[in-house]
Amino acid sequence: MMTETRDLQADRKAFIHKQIKQVDGRGPDPMLSKHGTMASAPFLFFRGSAHLFYADLAAQHLTLPDALTSWPLTCIVGDCHTGNFGFMTEEGSHGDEVIFAPNDYDDACVGYAGWDILRFMISVILTMEHCQGIKSGKYNSNKNIAHKPVIDDDHAFLALDAFIDGYLMACQRIHDDPATMHDVVDDIVPGTRLHKFYRKACERAAGGEEFLTKSALAKAVKMNDDGLVFRRNSEKFSPLAPHYYQTVYDAFSPYMDEEVIDIVERNQAGIGSNNLKRFYFLVGPAQPHNEASFARCHIVEVKQQRVAAPLAFFTDLTPINRLNPAHLTARCQRRMQRRPDLLLDEVEWQKNHWLVRSRHHARVSISPEDIGIGNRSVEGGFVDFAQLCGESIALSHARGDRRSVTFERQVLDTLPHYRNELIDIANQYAQQVITDHQHWLAMLKGESNTG
């Protein structure tokens, strides 16, 4: 029996090694920033290994109920989890209305909405485990939570129910009144757990009290004698050599909507895709001297795009997924957002595909600690967060077909009957992720068996 267990563990390590190497170009490497981040906790391992989730689906190590694969295909996030929802301004940096919505479309494609639903539900369990691990000292955190309460299993299962309820409520509204497909989640009740994050985003939007000091733009740039430039922060930004600067400028400046003021390379952004090259362009009036002209400036990200995680294994769902990776991301983002970023394009350069998109002035992300620790979290905040995620992702899925309510009708007919099965599947796979994280730690120490 022990030999059989060791063989199963070795097989699983080899499977993980293969999937990670396929995406990152190397096996487990403690010197790679992404791999080190994934070692920090199971939740972060899950965030950095979307590819593994779809490999398990393809290998039937993880199964989605057949009824959910009978729904019409739609645009999906692809890497749907609690950390990929937050507050932002619509239309990228061109709009000032703050909403709560999915905020990462790097793995977007046309697929099964059930993949997003299940992946989010798994992340709920892992968020709870993450917060309990911080409380016990198992995982590190830069927040002082010694005397704060933490969500438990009961909160997690209530949140799973609330997520499905939110999803169903949004589908019911759209089914009854298709015009509500253009609704967004923007009514955050004062005094609730998420309200301070909503207020933070509002204050950082153009015209807000903290736009000039704490917006994404304000924190990234500074005024010097020659005008506005990116801060020379070696941790986040690397300056480009003059000849390389000109090459990058020549390739991407036609896609900008105003004058390019400065360009830097962005270092180590994100978790799942932080090994991909990206540039930040500062765009706008060359020398703003007041709040009104400063608000015309914005940051445009140009990011190398790879194939969406689901498409490494599910290649024949629809011809749409044969679009190049950047084109597909832009297409799906335009469909899923009510008011997409005004600057959203794709470019082929140096034999790679690049996504061009606005950076939101007021993007405020939500960490596990933000929703899983503290009185307001345990007194309903975590559950409320999950329900809002259910509503917002259902709206995003529904916009994949704006001519009918066929999708919503099939969801309403089937999803209520699979609530408990989905919760069971999510809980079981979350435990697998926790085990995989232990394998990952061993593999980073050189204890892997890759066959």
Secondary structure of 65-84 as H, E, C letters: CHHHHHCCCEEECCCCCHHH
Structure confidence at residue 274 (pLDDT): 54
Q: 193-216, pLDDT tens digit by residue?
A: 999 999 999 999 988 899 989 998
In the chain, what are the helix, strand and coil shares in percent, each to the nearest 5?
50, 15, 35
Other Cβ atoms less than 10 A from the Cβ of 381: the count is: 23
Nearest of 312, 424, 428, 303 to residue 79 by alpha carbon: 312
Is residue 304 situated within a structural domain?
yes
Q: How far apart are CA 220 and CA 217, in angstroms?
A: 5
Instruction: Express as a percent the part of the chain with pLDDT over 90.
Output: 77
Residue with tokens 């408990």: 420
Region 336-348 average pLDDT: 94
Q: At 165, list the tokens.
A: 């309820």
pLDDT band at 1 (very low <50, low <70, confident <90, very high): very low
Region 382-409 average pLDDT: 97
Is residue 195 situated within a structural domain?
no
Residue 252: pLDDT over 70: yes
Residue span of the structural domain in which 318 resides = 202-358
Region 112-140 average pLDDT: 96
Structure confidence at residue 294 (pLDDT): 83
The pTM score is: 0.94
Q: In degrees, to the nearest 5, what angle opens at C-alpha 131 toward C-alphas 130 and 132?
A: 95
pLDDT band at 226 (very low <50, low <70, confident <90, very high): confident
Q: 284 in helix, strand or coil?
A: coil
Q: At 164, list the tokens.
A: 């499905």
Q: 68-84, pLDDT tens digit by residue?
A: 999 999 999 999 999 99
Is residue 123 situated within a structural domain?
no
Q: Which residues pair with 356 in a beta bridge?
A: 302, 345
Structure confidence at residue 451 (pLDDT): 43
Q: Which residues pair with 283 in a beta bridge?
A: 260, 298
Is residue 393 situated within a structural domain?
no
Q: 273-282, pLDDT tens digit by residue?
A: 556 899 999 9
Residue 380 is given by DSSP the state: I
Q: How far apart are CA 98 and CA 90, in angstroms?
A: 6
Q: 300-337, pLDDT tens digit by residue?
A: 999 999 999 999 999 999 999 999 999 999 999 999 99
Q: 296 in helix, strand or coil?
A: coil
Is residue 177 situated within a structural domain?
no
Is residue 313 situated within a structural domain?
yes
Structure confidence at residue 288 (pLDDT): 63
Is residue 148 situated within a structural domain?
no
Contact 35, 27 (CB under 8 A): no
Is residue 39 situated within a structural domain?
no
Alpha-carbon distance values, 181 to 273, 320, 335, 401 (Å): 31, 22, 12, 10
Q: How far apart are CA 140 and CA 394, in angstroms?
A: 33
Q: How far apart are CA 52 and CA 429, in angstroms?
A: 12
Residue type, 278: R
Query: How many independent structural domains does the chain possess?
Result: 1
pLDDT, mean over the chain:
92
